[in-house]
């Protein structure tokens, strides 16, 4: 037998053996996934689900807080005794900034000093308008300057400086205020018998 034929048959037998081994390997079933990998996958899914639920709750909580902030009080209506509005009066106040520790507000008030016929004192109508600086949230310190007018037989320009403390519910509710606000007014025959108590108490509603 020719030597080249022997070598060819040997190589071909070797190739056929390799192909048979490859087919046998491809025909083998895949190894099953281990229980450890299955458990790890379940834990991963559980943790991701829990994180998604927590994120959803956090987002809902933020939405509720934003809604709560959106209804913070902007307006205050009060009834006032004594002070810069005379014997009694009423105020409307508008708060411009509401979410910070330092806030500003605008107040407009109208009051009256009852006259006395025997003392020859005429009724006095008072209007006061000014700005407040507020420091605090629910319990706040306040200070402000208020120019105004007295309307009687003659019209007078008056002014006051306000220093006080207030309780205001930032989500609406009752309002209380104590303040010291001496009023500066001209004295003449019409006003020299008028005495103003420079302390005031107010209560009302935040809305």
Q: Do 50 and 84 belong to one domain?
A: no
The number of domains in the chain is 2
Indicate the residue among 52, 70, 88 that finishes a domain: 70
Give the whole-angstrom CA distance, residue 26 versus residue 125: 105
Domain check: are 103 and 194 in the same one? yes
Q: How much is the pLDDT for 164?
A: 95
Beta carbons of 144 and 131 less than 8 angstroms apart: yes
- The C-alpha atoms of residue 164 and residue 132 are separated, in whole angstroms, by 10
Per-residue pLDDT of the chain (207 residues; tens, 9 = 90+): 544 444 445 445 454 455 555 455 455 554 454 555 566 667 667 776 766 666 565 455 544 444 444 446 789 999 999 998 988 999 999 988 767 788 899 999 999 988 766 666 678 899 999 999 999 888 899 999 999 998 988 888 999 999 999 998 877 889 999 999 888 877 666 666 666 788 999 999 998
Co-location of 202 and 157 in the same domain: yes
Structural domain includes residue 38: yes
Task: Give residue 40's domain range.
Answer: 34-70
Write down the pLDDT at residue 138: 85
Residues 106 and 142 in one domain: yes
Is the pTM above the cut of 0.75? no
Q: Quick one: 94 and 194 in the same domain?
A: yes
Task: Tell me if 19 is assigned to some domain.
Answer: no
Residue 156, phi-psi category: left (phi > 0), alpha (psi -120 to 50), beta (remainder): beta
């Amino acid at each position: 037998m020719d030597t080249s034929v022997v070598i060819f048959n040997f190589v071909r037998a070797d190739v056929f053996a390799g192909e048979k081994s490859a087919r046998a390997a491809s025909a083998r079933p895949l190894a099953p996934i281990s229980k450890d990998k299955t458990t790890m996958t379940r834990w991963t899914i559980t943790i991701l689900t829990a994180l998604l639920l927590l994120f959803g709750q956090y987002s809902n909580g933020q939405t509720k807080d934003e809604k709560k902030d959106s209804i913070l009080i902007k307006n205050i209506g009060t009834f006032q005794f004594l002070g810069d509005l005379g014997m009694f009066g009423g105020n409307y106040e508008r708060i411009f900034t509401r979410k910070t520790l330092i806030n500003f507000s605008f107040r407009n008030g109208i009051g009256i000093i009852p006259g006395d016929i025997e003392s020859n004192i005429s009724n006095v109508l008072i209007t006061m308008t000014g700005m407040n600086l507020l420091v605090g949230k629910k319990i706040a310190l306040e200070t402000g300057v208020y120019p105004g007018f007295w309307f009687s037989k003659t019209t007078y320009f008056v002014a006051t400086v306000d220093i006080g403390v207030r309780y205001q519910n930032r989500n609406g509710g009752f309002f209380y205020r104590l303040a010291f606000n001496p009023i500066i007014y001209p004295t003449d025959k019409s006003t020299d018998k008028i005495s103003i108590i420079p302390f005031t108490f107010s209560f009302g509603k935040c809305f």
